[in-house]
Amino acid sequence: MIKKNYEFLEHTADIRIRVKAKDLKELFVNTALAMFDIMAEKSLKPRAYSSKLKKIKIIQKADGLEELLVNWLNELLSLSAVKELIFTDFKIKKLDENNLEAEIFGDEIKNYRINTEIKAATYHQLKLERIDSSWQAEVIFDV
């Protein structure tokens, strides 16, 4: 089993997680990985469908890093629903306070078992901070 790069924090109705990373780009990637890990689990059945990953480009803008993180996660959720993909790989090309450019790679949703439908990432009690030389984020998902 792959070691999880996130932990669950208590929240009555929704799902709240804490994610750590060594730099900001990795933090964005790890949070996205965590979100899809909560949502879906790879089917054990042999693949009935194409396993070729689909590549999509994403550009996001926001007023600050925290908002950018939520926007990034919601864009991924929305694309996942529309394109019927589970994203498994993320290459962040550019990331600053206000802009994000990335290439994301998705596998057909039919190859997965859906565990939890995540409606959205929320701004509620959102945290994104630098702790010494690493980064940490806390996000609440509405499920």
Chain positions contacting another protein, by CB under 8 A: 8, 10-15, 63, 67, 71, 74, 77-78, 81-82, 84, 109, 113-117, 119-120, 122-126, 140, 142-143
- Radius of gyration (Cα) for the chain, nearest Å? 15
Which phi and psi (to 5°) does residue 105 adopt? -125, 125
Q: How far is the CB of 97 from another protein (least distance, A)?
A: 16
Q: How far is the CB of 79 from another protein (least distance, A)?
A: 9
Residue 109 and residue 92: Cα distance in Å, rounded?
22
| 132: nearest Cα among 30, 22, 9 | 22
Comparison of 11 and 20: residue with beta carbon closer to another protein: 11
Q: How far is the CB of 33 from another protein (least distance, A)?
A: 18
Can you tell me which residue has the tokens 């990034």?
72
Percentages of the chain per state (helix, strand, coil), in multiples of 5: 25, 45, 25
Which phi and psi (to 5°) does residue 56 adopt? -130, 140
Comparison of 26 and 38: residue with beta carbon closer to another protein: 38
Which phi and psi (to 5°) does residue 30 adopt? -65, -40
